[in-house]
Amino acid sequence: MTTVDERRMTELFENLEVPEGVKVELLRGEIVLMAGPDLVHNPIVEAVFDQIPREKWHR
């Protein structure tokens, strides 16, 4: 990526309007959006963990 491209990407990143609860990062010249964990996330993870036999997985 050229310096002009990098500056443009940084400018886009800095002016990006991000919805609440979304995490945004600029990684290697690419804008990456990720949903942040919330109160719904943890119970889902626990439910999945509870389905894995304890002898094969430890929290």
Give me the residue spans of the domains in the chain: 3-50
Is the CB of residue 25 less than 8 Å from the CB of residue 7?
no
Average pLDDT, the chain: 79
pLDDT in tens, 17-36: 887 878 888 888 888 888 77
pLDDT in tens, 44-56: 888 887 887 777 6
Residue 2 has pLDDT above 70, yes or no: no
DSSP 8-state assignment for residue 52: S
Q: What is the distance between the alpha carbons of residues 51 and 54, in angstroms, rounded to a whole number? A: 9
pLDDT at 43: 82
Work out the pLDDT band at 59, boundaries 50, 70, 90.
Answer: low
Q: What is the distance between the alpha carbons of residues 53 and 59, in angstroms, rounded to a whole number? A: 11
Q: Hey, what amino acid is at 7?
A: R
